[in-house]
Amino acid sequence: MGTINKLLIINPNSSQSVTDNLKSLLPVPPATELEFYTGPPDAPPEIDGPETSRKSTEVCLPDLLKHYVDDYSGYLVCCYSDHPLIYELRKHTAKPVLGIFQASVTYALTQSPDKFGILTSTSSWEKILDDAVYHLFGGANVPLFTGTVASNVEVLKLGDPKYFKKLVEKARICVDSGAKTVLLGCAGLSGLEAKLEAEFDGVKFIDSVKIGAELLNSLVRFNSL
């Protein structure tokens, strides 16, 4: 039997419901085991900007270093942002550490010259994610990027069917701006890609957690070649 890669899927907030949703929806890549981590009780229940991102890092990092570091082949941080936990974890392990934001944008680049946009939760994320994309590309001129659109639905309500129509309305803004790929910019949107794709012709909706797990698994396997 070949090597089994063990990946830690990190939910850096304290909401177990978010982790449970990921467990139920995330397919397991071949020759891989997935284990799931939820932030301790004193981590923020949801992350809505830089302040809660820093707080979740302050709470999660010591816990991860004490109980989890180097026990896994790779680590996926499931907050759709340029989350500081990614960079702090990398200081303590040589294993791959990836964020779902970086993974989804990497996927979008493989679809060039098609443009991409981001659908997120609340309006507080629009400028944060726009700036994160510009930072990733080294400047504000990113012709492939149509921008971030907020659904204005709270993270813990994104999976509620009564808000789906609102998600479609906001996704249409991305599509009308020229996006052929829409990145689901929140772990709370995980699992909705097929329903959203059914509402639009010729548009891909990318589950950032699923592409994150697949890309992380590829990095782990590549490092073992």
pLDDT, tens digit (0-9, with 9 covering 90-100), for 130-170? 999 999 999 878 999 999 999 999 888 898 999 999 999 99
pLDDT at 81: 94
Task: Judge contact between 69 and 93, C-beta under 8 A.
Answer: yes
Structure-token match 């939760």, residue found: 121
Q: Note the pLDDT of residue 139.
A: 84
Q: What's the pLDDT at 61?
A: 98
Report the DSSP pairing between strands 204-207 and 179-184: parallel
- Residue 183 has a pLDDT of 98
C-beta of residue 121 within 8 angstroms of C-beta of residue 153: yes
Whether the model pTM is above 0.85: yes
Find all residues with CB under 8 Å of 136, minimum gap 6, and list them.
82, 102, 105
Q: Give me the half-sphere count of Cα atoms (radius 13 Å) on the Cβ side of residue 6.
A: 8
Domains of the chain from N-terminus onward = 5-100+210-223 (3.40.50.12500), 102-207 (3.40.50.12500)
Tens digit of pLDDT at every position of the chain (225 positions): 568 899 999 999 999 998 998 999 898 988 899 999 999 999 999 888 899 999 999 999 999 999 998 889 999 999 999 999 999 999 999 999 999 999 999 999 999 999 999 999 999 999 999 999 999 999 878 999 999 999 999 888 898 999 999 999 999 999 999 999 999 999 889 999 999 999 999 999 999 999 999 999 999 999 888
Instruction: Give the pLDDT confidence score for residue 70 in this predicted structure.
Output: 82
Instruction: Output the pLDDT for position 144.
Output: 96
What is the SS3 assignment for 146? strand
